Amino acid sequence: MPATVLRINTPAGTVVKRGDTLLVLEAMKMELPIRANADGTVTVVNCRIGDLVQPGVSLIELS
């Protein structure tokens, strides 16, 4: 299901821990937090607030 980027909590360079909320999507009037699946540093943010995203698209990259 398509979703819209509502909030970006972690700009590039942010150090995150597993479980931290990286960004929030909105789909069908529900907020869907996207959480880090591992500790790392955000290297690239491939989206902006208001972008429409599709399944399988890389929104944030961690190293």
CATH number, residue 29? 2.40.50.100
Considering the domain boundaries, does residue 9 fall inside one?
A: yes
Q: Is residue 46 part of a domain?
A: yes
Stated pTM of the model: 0.86
Q: Which residues pair with 62 in a beta bridge?
A: 42
Split into its structural domains, the chain has a count of 1
Q: In 3D, which of 29, 33, 38 has the Cα closest to residue 63?
A: 38
Is residue 25 situated within a structural domain? Answer: yes
Give the up-direction half-sphere exposure of residue 37: CA atoms within 13 A in the CB hemisphere.
3
Q: Is residue 18 a part of any domain in this protein?
A: yes
Tokens matching residue 27: 């789909």
Longest Cα–Cα distance of the chain, Å, equals 31
60 part of a folded domain: no
Residues 2-33: tens digit of each pLDDT: 899 999 999 999 999 999 999 999 999 999 99
In a domain, 58, yes or no: no
Inside any domain, residue 61: no
